Amino acid sequence: MSESVTHDLRVIVAGGGEMGVRTAELLDDRGHDVVIVESDPDRCDELADRYIATIIEGDASRPATLRQAQPERSDVIAALTDDETTNFAICMAAQRMSDIRTVMRISETADELYEEFVDGLVFPERLGARAATNEIANGGVRTIEDIGGNVEVVEVEVADDAPVAGKRLDEVRLPRGSLIIVDYRGDRLGGPDTVLEPGHRYVLAVESNVADEVMNLFRG
């Protein structure tokens, strides 16, 4: 498994079904750049109208289509179609084209050898898009729950060089629409005297329109 990352990612999502699109939305909320590859032309038109990602029409398991997504310029490819064999083929092809992290959706009990070939596995029936997002981003941020609407509860690690590192909460101007729920010990609600210690994790509620700004403050 790759080390945690603190920069914005370029992510290829293969498969524009509900799981792929919801994952793309969560990644977009965190400030990452997403490309969706989808084979259904009508679905591509629908996704293009939602403006959450660059859309490429085609079958991602075909090398010519996959190259259009430019894996050599990307950090992660998430193969999230509903066909496990197709997802494995996409990950293998992407690895041959570039040095890229691979995350693969599986539909049944995982083949124990998958972990020799791909960097992350996702069981959507158990965990869904939030797990896929956490596996893809792998950068000190973990979605805990969608409250509903535009609010998400996330656990965020303060990076050593983050703007908020080492500061008290009353010294930090968090954007309206964000709230620290629990301090790093997990035994107190966040308050003015809460110190944002580098390397520690905090639970926050964040509205989607300020999620990118909050991540920049905590992750640098």
What values do phi and psi take at 82, rounded to 5? -85, 10
- Is there a common fold for 10-122 and 128-219? no
Which of 35-39, 127-131, 161-165 holds the top average pLDDT? 35-39
What values do phi and psi take at 77, rounded to 5? -120, 130
What is the reported pLDDT for 215? 82
Give the 3-state secondary structure of residue 212.
Answer: helix
Tally the C-alpha atoms within 13 A of residue 191's C-alpha that lie toward its C-beta: 5
For residues 123 and 129, give the distance between their C-alpha atoms in angstroms, rounded to a whole number.
9
What is the reported pLDDT for 1? 40
Q: Which two tokens stand for residue 37?
A: 């590859």
**Under 8 Å between Cβ of 184 and 197:** yes
Cα–Cα nearest to 118, from 84, 169, 147: 84
pLDDT per position as a tens digit, 138-150: 667 777 766 556 7
What is the reported pLDDT for 130? 63
For 10-122, CATH number out of 3.20.20.140, 3.30.300.30, 3.40.50.720, 3.40.50.300 equals 3.40.50.720
| CATH T-level assignment (fold) for domain 128-219 | Alpha-Beta Plaits (3.30.70)
DSSP 61-111: TSHHHHHHT-GGG-SEEEE-SS-HHHHHHHHHHHHHHSS-EEEEE-SSSPP
pTM of the model: 0.64
Question: With 80 as the cut, is the pLDDT of residue 162 above it?
Answer: yes
Domain ranges of the chain: 10-122, 128-219
Within 10 angstroms of residue 161's Cβ, the number of other Cβ atoms is: 10
Helix axes 129-137, 18-29, angle to 10 degrees: 50
Q: pLDDT-derived band of residue 3, with 50, 70 and 90 as boundaries?
A: very low
Mean pLDDT of 50-62: 92
Question: With 70 as the cut, is the pLDDT of residue 125 above it?
Answer: no
Residues 6+ apart with CB under 8 A from 209: 150, 177
